[in-house]
Amino acid sequence: MDDLFKTKTKVAFKALGGRAKVVYWHFGVAKALESLGYHFVGGPRASGEARPYGPFLLNPVIGSSAGALFACLVAASDRPIDEIAKIRAPAEAVFQRTPVDLRSYFRRVRNHTEYRTGRTFRLADLRLIDFAAITARYTVQGLERFIRQEVTQGMNRFEDLRTELYILATELDNPRTVVFGEKSSDQINDYVYRSGASVSEAAACSMSLPPIYAPFPVSQDGKKTYYIDGELRDPYTTNVAEESGADLIFVSSVYQAYQFSDTFGSLFNIGLLGIYPQSRDQSMDAKKQIAIYNRRKVERALATVETFAQRLLLKEQREALIQLLEIHLDFRRRNTIIYIAPYQDLELYRVDPFDLSEQTKRLVMLKGYDRTFQVLEEQGFLKRFGKTVFAPAPPPE
């Protein structure tokens, strides 16, 4: 692995969600990578300027859910991570209440009644359940405005940024992920590339976590489309990064499922406040394990084919066969994917996911920072010929 840091030509950073605290986690991971020589290439892009790529440049950046906010922050600024981390979304933007609109509420009651009965609304059809047609308590309108006015500041088009930025959202009324960015394409598997939305709109779409935040609408070509959280479908896929040409991909995630400990016992004893988050984290953990397992399975299959092909085919034939298999399996063997996530960290697990205090920021950043070095060390990426290549820099302040 001694050439890992030098031979890669395009290095991607994918920031997943996990509610507000995850932004601090990503900053800790980014700070650790920065101490290893990696840097984001954010800031404004001059007209006609080619985007910079290289072995130690973190570009492209992919964000989903709360990770979309982090992606916007690093894409819009060319300052060091410590400086970018000082930018904070005000609580009134994060927790902006959805306006009360009785007319809209009764319209939803009527619509739900018609949806349930399958016929035109009649008062006699009303049931108690129809009056539960409420909307989410919060809206991401405040976060969209914060990103547009305080973060991108005149760089609110994807084309305006030096960073090759992608933001993932889930289309509410269609079973697919939408990849917002500069390009558009027809649907590929269960996702589609879409241009035209602003950076702040795309981030707002991605952060619309139900049932906490209301879906966010984007109007294009006279049609309004609603979006929700960007990682409801396949959060650990690296297809977007790999299709952009990235051959080294860091996937930063704060998700971890609770593992029984004698200290806290079963989450059953906490009630829904423990059971609901655990059900979400179990699902996310399963998706990550499936992504890792599928990649290893394909790697083993290709290695087996190559071993047998060595006995039967010439070198050029073997290479052509493997290339064809990689195309059909949508797999790139030379690419390296590094998942950086906490492991059995009860202290981090218990952190209030919406706590925006400085104390929580320092704790979560330090956790992300330390865990990055631990993961790289465990996987052998920090050693060369038995010696440490990089030593951790001082932790983030």
Closest CA to 202 of 217, 187, 222, 185: 217
**Other beta carbons within 10 Å of 223:** 7
pLDDT at 377: 86
Residue the block writes with tokens 């840091």: 5
Instruction: Classify residue 281 by burial, with Cβ atoms within 10 Å: 0-12, 13-18, 19+.
Output: middle
Task: Give me the tens of pLDDT residue by residue for the chain, a chain 397 residues long.
Answer: 445 667 888 999 999 998 778 999 999 999 999 988 899 999 999 988 999 999 889 999 999 999 999 999 999 999 999 999 999 888 899 889 998 889 999 999 999 999 999 999 999 999 999 999 988 999 999 999 999 999 999 899 999 999 999 999 999 999 999 999 999 988 777 899 999 999 999 999 999 998 899 999 999 878 999 999 999 998 998 999 999 999 999 999 999 998 888 888 999 998 988 898 899 889 999 999 999 999 999 999 999 998 988 888 888 998 899 999 988 888 888 899 999 999 989 889 888 888 888 899 999 999 999 999 999 888 777 664 344 444 444 555 5
Q: What is the DSSP letter of 138?
A: B
Extract the tokens encoding 267: 């989450």
The DSSP code sequence of 74-107 is: HHH--S-HHHHTT----HHHHTPBPPP-HHHHHH
Length of the chain in residues, anyone?
Answer: 397
Q: What is the DSSP letter of 188?
A: B
Tell me how crowded residue 305 is: count the other CB atoms within 10 A of its CB: 14
Instruction: Output the pLDDT for position 387.
Output: 40
Q: Residue 13: phi, psi to the nearest 5? A: -125, 120
Q: What is residue 395's predicted lDDT score, i.e. its pLDDT?
A: 59
Whole-angstrom Cα distance, residue 160 to residue 393?
A: 33
Are residues 390 and 8 in contact, defined by beta-carbon separation less than 8 angstroms?
A: no
CB atoms under 10 Å from CB of 295, counted, come to 16
Helix (H) / strand (E) containing 169: strand 165-171
**H or E stretch at 340:** strand 336-340
Q: Are 149 and 204 in contact (CB under 8 A)?
A: no
- State the helix-helix crossing angle for 315-329 and 272-312, rounded to 10 degrees: 160
Asked, as a colleague might, if the bond just before 52 is cis with ω within 30 of 0, I would say no
99 phi and psi, to 5 degrees? -60, 145
How crowded is residue 77: how many other Cβ atoms within 10 Å of its Cβ?
Answer: 21
What is the DSSP track for 225-292?
A: EEEE-TTSS-TT--HHHHHTT-SEEEEE--------BTTTB-GGGTTHHHHHHHHHHHHHHHHHHHHH
Q: Using the 8-state DSSP alphabet, how is residue 44 labeled?
A: B
